[in-house]
Structure 1
């Protein structure tokens, strides 16, 4: 509970302290992609600490982030990714801490002042309390303490009497083979569960059998026939119960003797304090002191550990998500590659230079993107290949040599096809435009073939994924056909 409170308090305090922090990078974030934006100021401070320690790379590789978030600087993308990872971990930890604290706070203590158990009021039920006991003869021992409910008026006495007799006949032997050969402890309950009947066992045979059913040591060596007698009391109604059995001398250890006396004392306390609200546990039996403790509840600890584990896997999960986005980027770029090559061939054939064709493709894409996204409720995703081309076009407008721009384009894309395309255009600038159209046409044919192959593989993967539900449907159809057919046969 303390650990949960500390984590929750530190998180809330950190959010409040850092709430006034402002960073231009984190101001205009998409709420859908960054739902935990409220935690980003605190996350940013933690990120800056990891940056000082040189550990910011754990949130994602800069080259991967640059490929996925093509329109951002790598350091900005890394900062956003780091804040997202840290905020997710903080949210999991804070939620776990809150649940653990709420559970621990709402959980009522069983022991009052370490020696009282609260009894159910009239109309309640019998309560069983699982406690651990520490003594010099038993060390730590688990004890199940029964605390009866306050008495209630009952009905149908004859049925209750029959049910009580049946219950006792079934349970008195308590694991012994038969009433003619009793070697182990007997079950002599102080009440009949679910009936409100209390049972008082006669002490005429206390030399042989304790009130709790434990067999006592005696001066006998031969089997002894014993008739157990108990009074079943249901308010003013009293019934006699008899049970004949043969017992053998038990072997009593110091521990058994102590537990026998303890159970006798607990039974007496239960009867003596039944009209009181609190059930006082004995502090000693004879010269043996008893230290009562609640059985340790590990729910909070286990849940807190689960929260720590969940927070720990947030980072790998987000990094895996980044890898998925990188794969989707590559697939999207390969899908767009044949179209880009075809547009380039058409513009070059029309008499444009490579630079003019490049600028034309970028301009058309930007116009189409602006038009298609006029309705903000149906925003379309950007195309990575065209975004990379826009970056290269901006570099040329800033005065970077055209050859260098094409080479950087191919390297930046990190896709073999685009690397070939960039090198092809760079060679065209160096050696002249002779043969460029033929080279591009050959590249276009190859790219269309690769796209068809990619579509075929995608279809095969989809078909493979559908095999399991198809087999399930096949088995279902077979069952529908075969089961009625076999059931119609008479053997």
Structure 2
């Protein structure tokens, strides 16, 4: 945007921010206008509207003027609960008459009619859209229970009768329906019928042979020769899949272990860096050469390992390799360069560069450079220790959450059980 002088104005916000601000103000204005339109006198609009039957009460937050005798125009906030609308006698009678065909249709479930019940019924506890609750009763619960279960395993072929009664209530009015049912045995395939017949026969044989050690099954039944087999256990088929899964998990574990080992080695190298540099400063300051300092540090490390006073540390192991290279005739510059590359960290690469330069340019400035590097190394070690402490605290959050969940269960479960 440009001003009259031809200079460009620097707006305090971007176009997108301006659009967001304008949209917010526009929505505020629209809601304010809508609220103003709705904020008229309730008495002019016909009062507080009730919810329909079965929808529960409605809470209205309104403002009432005239309650304060001193300040008649002062609006007092009031929260008024308005109960749901109830059916009148005429409405309830009409509703109950209309509900019977719907109940008949829904309660049948997979059955064709009340005269041929072979499977479970669909008995609802309520019709929420009408605000009507249902209570079912059966005169033969061993055949048809009040939950809709049909127990027709031993029902005779000619069928058996049962009566279901349901009381429908909207809270004030109540109406009772009665349904007459004829229950038949469930449909069975020829194979199922043959198996059911054989099972009945086997049950009788079991009663006859109760004094025997085992149940002897017939080889000839209904004119047919029978052979008996135990079903194969198919659970072992899962073993190849489990083997593949375990192989995949082991491969993943190998990669994860390798990453963890690399991370652990890197942390140990960073922790030991300040110690290595400080020892080099001490030995070089005492008059030893860089090679002599390496040999003295490596010898002290080896002695500590033999006596069991020290654990294996990657930085000192690389120093041992460097000393071995020097003893085998490798030049000092090359040996120190490979030491840094084997460690692989920026700090060790910097140290190896300083040591290589000292071989080319002399060791006059080496001690001073190492002292500066030692200060930086100790600061780096302090930051690493702080970071590891924060990570340890983060890892403790998961067990703390588990403990919190356990405590909540110990508190909440007894509280719930006390209500029963």
TM-score, normalized by length of structure 2?
0.50
CA distance in 2, matches of 1:314, 1:252: 50
Q: 1:481, CA displacement in angstroms?
A: 12
Q: How does 1:157-168 map to 2 (within 5 A)?
A: none
2:358 aligned to 428, 452, 467, which one? 428
Question: Can you list the C-alpha shifts for 1:450-475, whole angstroms capped at 9, x where unaligned?
Answer: 11110111121122233455567789
Question: Can you list the C-alpha shifts for 1:290-335, whole angstroms capped at 9, x where unaligned?
Answer: 5533233345444675466435533432443233222222111111
Task: Point out where structure 2 has 5 or more consecutive residues left out of the alignment.
Answer: 1-139, 163-180, 416-420
Q: Judge conservation of contact 2:206–2:215 (CA < 8 Å) in 1.
A: yes
4+ residue runs of structure 1 moved beyond 6 angstroms?
A: 222-225, 471-482
Q: 1:388, CA displacement in angstroms?
A: 0.8
Shift of the 249–360 alpha-carbon distance from structure 1 to 2, 3 Å rule, reads: closer
**What residue in structure 1 maps to residue 201 of structure 2?**
265
Shift of the 322–253 alpha-carbon distance from structure 1 to 2, 3 Å rule, reads: closer
1:460 aligned to 390, 408, 414, which one? 390
The count of residues paired between Structure 1 and Structure 2 equals 253
Root-mean-square deviation (CA, aligned residues, Å) is 4.0
Q: Judge conservation of contact 1:258–1:285 (CA < 8 Å) in 2.
A: no
Are positions 1:216 and 2:149 aligned together?
no
Q: How does 1:142-161 map to 2 (within 5 A)?
A: none
Q: Judge conservation of contact 1:332–1:384 (CA < 8 Å) in 2.
A: yes
CA distance in 1, matches of 2:333, 2:272: 23
| 3-state DSSP of counterpart to 1:280 | coil
CA distance in 2, matches of 1:472, 1:278: 53
**What residue in structure 2 maps to residue 353 of structure 1?**
289
1:441 aligned to 365, 371, 374, which one? 371
**What residue in structure 1 maps to residue 312 of structure 2?**
382
Question: Can you list the C-alpha shifts for 1:259-297, whole angstroms capped at 9, x where unaligned?
Answer: 343133212321333333332334464356655332333
| 3-state DSSP of counterpart to 1:293 | coil
Greater RCO structure (CA 8 Å; 6+ sep)? 1
1:276 aligned to 208, 212, 216, which one? 212
**What residue in structure 2 maps to residue 415 of structure 1?**
345
Q: How does 1:178-197 map to 2 (within 5 A)?
A: 185-186=152-153
| 3-state DSSP of counterpart to 2:156 | coil
Are positions 1:331 and 2:261 aligned together?
no
| 3-state DSSP of counterpart to 1:216 | coil
Shift of the 256–216 alpha-carbon distance from structure 1 to 2, 3 Å rule, reads: farther
Q: How does 1:288-307 map to 2 (within 5 A)?
A: 290-302=226-238, 306=242
CA distance in 2, matches of 1:270, 1:474: 56
1:402 aligned to 305, 315, 332, which one? 332
Q: Judge conservation of contact 1:334–1:451 (CA < 8 Å) in 2.
A: yes
1:343 aligned to 259, 279, 299, which one? 279
CA distance in 1, matches of 2:268, 2:368: 26
TM-score, normalized by length of structure 1?
0.44
| 3-state DSSP of counterpart to 2:215 | strand
Q: Judge conservation of contact 1:214–1:260 (CA < 8 Å) in 2.
A: no
303-312 vs 345-354, greater mean Cα deviation = 303-312
Shift of the 317–279 alpha-carbon distance from structure 1 to 2, 3 Å rule, reads: same
Q: Judge conservation of contact 1:283–1:290 (CA < 8 Å) in 2.
A: yes
Task: Point out where structure 1 has 5 or more consecutive residues left out of the alignment.
Answer: 1-172, 187-212, 226-245, 374-378, 487-491
Q: 1:402, CA displacement in angstroms?
A: 1.0
Are positions 1:322 and 2:258 aligned together?
yes
CA distance in 2, matches of 1:339, 1:393: 18
Q: Judge conservation of contact 1:223–1:248 (CA < 8 Å) in 2.
A: yes
Instruction: Please tell me whether Structure 1 or Structure 2 has the larger radius of gyration of its CA atoms.
Output: 2
2:322 aligned to 392, 401, 422, which one? 392
Q: How does 1:127-138 map to 2 (within 5 A)?
A: none
Shift of the 432–215 alpha-carbon distance from structure 1 to 2, 3 Å rule, reads: same
Q: Judge conservation of contact 1:261–1:285 (CA < 8 Å) in 2.
A: no
**What residue in structure 1 maps to residue 61 of structure 2?**
none
2:144 aligned to 177, 187, 190, which one? 177
Question: Can you list the C-alpha shifts for 1:240-270, whole angstroms capped at 9, x where unaligned?
Answer: xxxxxx9766567534542343133212321
Q: Judge conservation of contact 1:336–1:385 (CA < 8 Å) in 2.
A: yes
Q: Judge conservation of contact 2:155–2:184 (CA < 8 Å) in 1.
A: no
CA distance in 1, matches of 2:405, 2:209: 65
Q: 1:432, CA displacement in angstroms?
A: 2.5
Q: Judge conservation of contact 2:285–2:367 (CA < 8 Å) in 1.
A: yes
Question: Can you list the C-alpha shifts for 1:140-169, whole angstroms capped at 9, x where unaligned?
Answer: xxxxxxxxxxxxxxxxxxxxxxxxxxxxxx
Shift of the 249–346 alpha-carbon distance from structure 1 to 2, 3 Å rule, reads: closer
Are positions 1:366 and 2:302 aligned together?
yes
